[in-house]
Structure formats: structure tokens, C-alpha cells
């Protein structure tokens, strides 16, 4: 085991930190610590400009291979980049779905034409992506997708009909990757296709969802004869589930280290407040703060184990990776409760009318989504037990 970074990597760290210090100022200064989860609705236009600023500096897609316009960084350097990015308080990335999900999927499963058409816009920070997975009837049971894709032989295009939900950044995005049923007779994970769909077209309607926070970063997206070109399906019709599941592997990547840095910022706020308002003298609060601190430290060590693991290449997740989502989501939800309890009765008082939340208030409400999206805690436990421990699946009752 070796925990330290090489001298070369430390030099890379200095380079990242230096660039951020030189550029995250002036017009961008107000974006610091903004636009993260729960705050995605703030400064969307300014953050799009920031995305392009990053691209100019060569700081988008740092983990992508160089042949696709990436920086070809090692795992260590990616870790360092995301850590320094979060440490500097740089804003939530509007390009993260393209960089972290759409791009890697196209690189892994896409055609040469798809790579040439879509990857440069992601690298340049000029084309933003959103994810079309969940539907009203396909939440935890994601394979129960009802949105249909039919190939129109006359026009030579795929035609999509249906509805997606919980699509974050849909209203800011240029493209959406969508799983839809190519075989209308199929059920569950068979007969699906994976499509790259332009958002700006008459067949697509976006309706924001007003959330528990009173703000909207999630949307419903309606497809009413929406179209994409014949060449905009990734993999063959019927391969959609395989492509989508391959993509889930990319979601548990190195960016988790950056996410932890954001958690650390939140915990630092809570600690500072507790020291200031006297909550630091309450033994229960002391225990909870110490527990949050200890577990955040371990979250980092666990991520280091994940990233150092050597068995990821076959697509199977190691045990420390299987438990990661359940661990951080539950931790973060508890942090929200801790924030309120440290604030005491002040936790009720808003920044302003009609419903202007402080950072910690917004966090407290928004973290309730963490244990629901991306596989609820209950689904995570099923996955851990079945894949991690080899316990038998629940027998399924016959329908009807």
C-alpha cells in the first residue's frame, strides 16, 4: 500500500490549483460554491460560459483518451483534478452528464461517426447533455421503460413517443440520451435501444418539476413524434440495456472524490456554525459531528480502495464499490439533519420570501433525493445482497 502521490502528480496538482486560482475570479467569482446538487438552477448561463473557459484551458474531459480530445490523465491525476476543483469552490459543472456519462458511452459503444459528431462539442463545453432514463412507470424498475422508438423507413429516421421524468438540466441541454423500446412486443430489459436525441425540436416538450426546495432542476420530458437520425442509435436495436448498464459503470468514477470535497465544505460550515452558536457544547451534537467527520474521512479511504482496485476492468464491482452509493447517500442525508439540529430554532427562519433557502436549508431538503435517485437505498441493498453476497433473488409472483 502506498498513499502518497508522486512528485509528478503533486506538480500536476499545483498546475490545476494555479489555473483555477488565476481563472475563477472576475466575472466567475460569484459562481464559487454554486451550482452543485440542489443548486443546479443558479447561474445556468454563467456556468455555460465557465464550461467553455475550462475547455479553453484544457480542463474538460481530463480522463478521456487523448485521441478523443481528452487529457488522458491517469486515475491519480483525475482524482487530483476533481479534488482541486472542489477545493477551489469551482461551480457545479453543467457539462458533467456529457463528460461523465454520454461521452464515455459513445467512446465505449459508439460508431466512428457518432464519435466525430458528438465528442468535440462535449470537449469544447459548447454542447450539454441530459439523461433520459426514468419514466413515471420505470423508477426502481428501470427496465419497465414504455417510451417507444419506431424506425420510419420512409423518412429514414427513428421516431420516439413517450415520457421521461427526473431529467436534470433538460431545459439547458442540447442533447439527451434516451432508452426506448425498439421492439414493441418486448418486456423488461430486452428489446430496448439507446438513442442520442436533439432537444431543440418540435416533438419535445420540457416541463420543470417543482421540488421540495421550491426550485426546479428536474424536469419531465415529453416525446411526441420526436426524431433522431438513423445513425443516432448506439449499438443495435435491442442492445439498449447493455449500453445503459455499461454507462452505470462510468457513474461511479473518480468524480466521487470531488463530491467528497463538496461534502467537506458543507461539514466545515456546520462545524463553524456549531462553534459559533454554542451547539458545540451539546454532547449529542459533538458525537454526531465527530461521527460525520470520521465517516467522511473513511469515505475517502473507501474511494481510494475503489480506485486502486484491479478487478474493475471486467465490469464487476468490488465490494467496496458496491456499498459506496448506499454509504455516501445515507451519510449525506444524516448530514442534512445534523445541519438543522446545529442551527436549532434558527433552522426555521428563511433568508427571505417567498421561499429563499440558506445553503444548509437547501442541503437539508435536497439530500432527501440522495437516498432515492440512482437506485434507492432499498434497491442498493438488494444489489449488495444479490451481487455482493450471492443471496438468492426474491421469487417473482406471476403477473395476473
Partner 1 sequence: MDFAFTEEQEMIRDTAAAFLAEVSSSEAVRRAMATESGYDSALWRRICDEMYWQAIHIPEAYGGLGLGYVELVAMMEQMGRYLLCSPYFSTVCLATNALLVAGNEDQKTRWLGELGAGQVTATLAFNGGSRSWAADSITASFRREGDEFVLNGDYRYVIDGHTAGLLVVAAREEGSSGEQGISLFLVPAQTAGVRRRWLPTLDQARKQAAVTLDNVRLDGTSLMGACGQAWPALGKVLDLAAIALAAEQVGGCQQLLDMTVEYTTERVQFNRPIASFQAVKHKAADMMLKTEVARSAVYYAACVADEALRGGELGAELPEAASVAKSYCSDAYFAVAGEALQLFGGVGFTWEYDVHLYFKRAKSSEHLLGDGSSHRERLAVTLLDQGRSS
The residues binding partner 1 (CB under 8 A) are 1-5, 9, 76, 79, 271, 274-275, 280-281, 286-287, 289-291, 293-295, 297-298, 301-302, 304-305, 307-310, 319-320, 322-323, 326-327, 378, 380-382, 384-386, 388-395
Burial of 389 (0-12, 13-18, 19+ CB in 10 A): exposed
103 contact partners, CB below 8 Å, separation of at least 6: 61, 64, 68, 118, 119, 122
251 is catalytic: yes
257 contact partners, CB below 8 Å, separation of at least 6: 79, 82, 83, 86, 300, 303
Q: Report the alpha-carbon distance of residue 277 to residue 322 in Å, rounded.
A: 39
- For partner 1, the closer of residues 358 and 382 by Cβ is 382
- Residue 232 beta carbon to partner 1: minimum distance, rounded to whole angstroms: 38
73 contact partners, CB below 8 Å, separation of at least 6: 12, 62, 63, 81
- For partner 1, the closer of residues 75 and 245 by Cβ is 75
- Residue 280 beta carbon to partner 1: minimum distance, rounded to whole angstroms: 4
| CA distance readout (Å), 343 to 29, 36, 291, 292 | 27, 22, 18, 16
At 148, which helix (H) or strand (E)?
Answer: strand 148-152
Neighbours of 128 (CB within 10 A): 27
Cα 58-81-77 angle, rounded to 5 deg: 95
- Residue 376 beta carbon to partner 1: minimum distance, rounded to whole angstroms: 12
- For partner 1, the closer of residues 221 and 335 by Cβ is 335
- Residue 118 beta carbon to partner 1: minimum distance, rounded to whole angstroms: 33
- Residue 18 beta carbon to partner 1: minimum distance, rounded to whole angstroms: 21
Q: Which three cell numbers stand for residue 279?
A: 451547539
Q: Choose, from 84, 251, 320, 356, the residue flagged as catalytic.
A: 251
- Residue 6 beta carbon to partner 1: minimum distance, rounded to whole angstroms: 8
- For partner 1, the closer of residues 113 and 294 by Cβ is 294
Q: Report the alpha-carbon distance of residue 250 to residue 227 in Å, rounded.
A: 27
Q: Which three cell numbers stand for residue 345?
A: 430554532
Q: Where are the beta strands (DSSP E) in 312-380?
A: none
Are 128 and 174 contacting, i.e. CB atoms less than 8 angstroms apart?
yes
Q: Which three cell numbers stand for residue 399?
A: 403477473
Q: Mind telling me the catalytic residues? A: 251
Amino acid at each position: 500500500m502506498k498513499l502518497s502521490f508522486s512528485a509528478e502528480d503533486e506538480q500536476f496538482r499545483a498546475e490545476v490549483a494555479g489555473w483555477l486560482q488565476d481563472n475563477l475570479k472576475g466575472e466567475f467569482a460569484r459562481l464559487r460554491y454554486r451550482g452543485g446538487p440542489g443548486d443546479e438552477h443558479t447561474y445556468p448561463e454563467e456556468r455555460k460560459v465557465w464550461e467553455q473557459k475550462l475547455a479553453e484551458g484544457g480542463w474538460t474531459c481530463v480522463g478521456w483518451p487523448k485521441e478523443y480530445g481528452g487529457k488522458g490523465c491517469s486515475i491519480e491525476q483525475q482524482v487530483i483534478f476533481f479534488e482541486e476543483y472542489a477545493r477551489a469552490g469551482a461551480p457545479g459543472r453543467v457539462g458533467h452528464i456529457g463528460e461523465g456519462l454520454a461521452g464515455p458511452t459513445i467512446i465505449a459503444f459508439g460508431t466512428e461517426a457518432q464519435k466525430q459528431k458528438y465528442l468535440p462539442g462535449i470537449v469544447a463545453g459548447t454542447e450539454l447533455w441530459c439523461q433520459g432514463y426514468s419514466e413515471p412507470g420505470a423508477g426502481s424498475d428501470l427496465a419497465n421503460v414504455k417510451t417507444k422508438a419506431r424506425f420510419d423507413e420512409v423518412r429514414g429516421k427513428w421516431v420516439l413517443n413517450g415520457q421521461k421524468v427526473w431529467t436534470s438540466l433538460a431545459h439547458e441541454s442540447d442533447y439527451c440520451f434516451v432508452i426506448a423500446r425498439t421492439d414493441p412486443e418486448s418486456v423488461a430489459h430486452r428489446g430496448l435501444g439507446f438513442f442520442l436525441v436533439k432537444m431543440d425540436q418540435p416533438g419535445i416538450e420540457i416541463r420543470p418539476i417543482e421540488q421540495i426546495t421550491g426550485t426546479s432542476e428536474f424536469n419531465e420530458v415529453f416525446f411526441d413524434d420526436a426524431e433522431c437520425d438513423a445513425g443516432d442509435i448506439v449499438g443495435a436495436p435491442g442492445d439498449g440495456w447493455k449500453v445503459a448498464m455499461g454507462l452505470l459503470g462510468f457513474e461511479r468514477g473518480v468524480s466521487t472524490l470531488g463530491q467528497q470535497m463538496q461534502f467537506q465544505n458543507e461539514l466545515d460550515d456546520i462545524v463553524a456554525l456549531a462553534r459559533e452558536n454554542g451547539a458545540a457544547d451539546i454532547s449529542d451534537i459533538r458525537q454526531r459531528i465527530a461521527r460525520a467527520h470520521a465517516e467522511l474521512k473513511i469515505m475517502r479511504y473507501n474511494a481510494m480502495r475503489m480506485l486502486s482496485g484491479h478487478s474493475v476492468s471486467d465490469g464487476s464491482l468490488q465490494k467496496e464499490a458496491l456499498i459506496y452509493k448506499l454509504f455516501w447517500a445515507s451519510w449525506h442525508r444524516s448530514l442534512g439533519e445534523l445541519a438543522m439540529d446545529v442551527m436549532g430554532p434558527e433552522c426555521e427562519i428563511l433568508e427571505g420570501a417567498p421561499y429563499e433557502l440558506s445553503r444548509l436549508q437547501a442541503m437539508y431538503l435536497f439530500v432527501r433525493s440522495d437516498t432515492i435517485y440512482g437506485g434507492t437505498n432499498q434497491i442498493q441493498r438488494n444489489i449488495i445482497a444479490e451481487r455482493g453476497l450471492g443471496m438468492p433473488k426474491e421469487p417473482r409472483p406471476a403477473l395476473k
